C-alpha cells in the first residue's frame, strides 16, 4: 500500500488520555496587546504566500478528538491535496485499519473493515462528518498544516503581545463582527497560535508547536484545535509537503463483496 513506508516509521503508540496535548481545562489568558507602528500588509502577503504554496501534504501520527459527545483517539495517516481531496486512515493500537475516509473532492467513501461502506457527496464537510468539528475541509486541512485559512477582512493591524513578546496580526471585519488574531513565530510568518472571535466570543483557538522544516517552510509537529465544544489534537511523526500524490490515493478500492450504502 502507498502508506506502507509511513506506517513502518510510525512507532509512537498512543493510549486515550496519554497524549501530552490534552487540555487541562484552564481558560486561556487575555493577551495584553500593544499597537505597533509597522505596516501589516507585508505580513498578510507572507501568510497568503505560505498558504498558496501548500498544494499537498502527507502526515502520519496520532489524533485525539474530544467533545460533542465523542471521545476517541488512535494513530492516523493523512494525505491531503488542497483544497478538498483527502485520504484518512485511522489505525488501531496494533496498526490495523479501523476506518477509511477517502474523498476526491466530489464524492466521499467511508468504510470501517467488517462493516458496510457508505458513499455520498463530499460537500466540503468530510472531516466534520466523522469528527463533528464545525469547520469545512479546506479550513481544517490548512490548520493541520499550520497555515492560516482564508479569512475575509477589512482592517489589518500589527500588535505586540507584551507577555509573550511576540508580534500579533489582527484581521477584522466589523460588518460581520469577526476578528482573527495570529501570533507570529518569525518573520517568515510561521504561526504559533490562531484565534477567531465573533461577537466577542471565541469560535476557534488553534495552537501550533514543535516546528520542523519541509519544503522551505516551517510546519508544526503538534496541532491543537479548540472550537469551544470540540477539541482535536494531532502529533506528527511524519510530515512532508508538496509531494506529487497519485490520483488513485483519493479513490478507495473496496474488497469484493463489501456492501455500499448511500450516505
**pLDDT band at residue 7 using 50, 70 and 90 as cut-offs:** very low
Q: Look at residue 16 and tell me if it is in a domain.
A: no
- pTM, entire model: 0.85
**pLDDT band at residue 144 using 50, 70 and 90 as cut-offs:** very high
Q: Look at residue 254 and tell me if it is in a domain.
A: no
Q: How many domains does the chain have?
A: 1
Q: Coil, helix or strand for 39?
A: coil
Q: Look at residue 100 and tell me if it is in a domain.
A: yes
- The H or E element that residue 131 is part of is helix 126-131
Q: Look at residue 125 and tell me if it is in a domain.
A: yes
Structural domain range at position 87 = 34-241
DSSP category for residue 252: -
CB 47 within 8 A of CB 169: yes
Q: Look at residue 111 and tell me if it is in a domain.
A: yes
The Cα 188–Cα 184 span in angstroms is 9
Q: Look at residue 26 and tell me if it is in a domain.
A: no
pLDDT per residue as tens digits for the range 42-80: 999 999 999 999 999 999 999 998 987 778 888 999 999
Q: What is the CATH number of the domain that holds 112?
A: 2.50.20.10
- The H or E element that residue 48 is part of is helix 41-53
Q: Look at residue 260 and tell me if it is in a domain.
A: no
Cis bond upstream, residue 166 (ω within 30): no
CB 63 within 8 A of CB 73: yes
Amino acid at each position: 500500500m502507498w502508506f506502507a513506508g509511513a506506517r513502518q516509521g510510525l512507532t509512537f503508540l498512543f493510549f486515550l488520555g496519554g497524549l501530552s496535548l490534552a487540555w487541562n481545562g484552564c481558560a486561556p489568558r487575555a493577551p495584553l496587546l500593544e499597537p505597533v507602528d509597522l505596516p501589516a500588509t507585508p505580513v498578510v502577503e507572507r501568510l497568503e504566500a505560505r498558504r498558496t504554496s501548500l498544494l499537498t501534504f502527507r502526515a502520519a501520527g496520532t489524533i485525539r478528538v474530544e467533545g460533542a459527545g465523542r471521545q476517541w483517539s488512535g494513530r492516523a495517516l493523512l494525505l491531503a491535496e488542497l483544497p478538498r481531496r483527502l485520504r484518512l486512515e485511522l489505525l488501531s493500537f496494533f496498526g490495523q485499519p479501523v476506518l477509511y475516509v477517502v474523498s476526491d473532492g466530489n464524492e466521499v467513501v467511508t468504510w470501517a473493515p467488517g462493516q458496510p461502506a457508505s458513499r455520498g457527496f463530499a460537500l466540503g464537510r468530510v472531516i466534520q462528518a466523522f469528527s463533528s468539528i464545525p469547520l469545512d475541509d479546506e479550513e481544517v486541512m490548512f490548520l493541520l498544516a499550520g497555515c492560516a485559512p482564508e479569512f475575509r477582512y477589512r482592517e489589518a493591524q500589527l500588535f505586540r503581545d507584551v507577555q509573550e513578546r511576540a508580534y500579533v496580526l489582527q484581521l477584522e471585519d466589523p460588518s460581520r463582527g469577526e476578528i482573527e488574531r495570529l501570533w507570529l513565530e518569525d518573520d517568515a510568518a510561521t504561526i504559533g497560535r490562531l484565534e477567531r472571535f465573533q461577537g466577542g466570543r471565541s469560535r476557534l483557538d488553534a495552537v501550533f508547536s514543535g516546528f520542523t522544516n519541509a519544503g522551505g517552510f516551517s510546519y508544526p509537529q503538534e496541532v491543537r484545535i479548540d472550537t469551544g465544544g470540540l477539541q482535536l489534537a494531532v502529533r506528527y511523526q511524519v510530515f512532508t509537503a508538496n509531494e506529487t500524490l497519485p490520483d488513485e490515493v483519493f479513490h478507495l478500492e473496496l474488497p469484493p463483496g463489501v456492501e455500499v450504502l448511500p450516505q
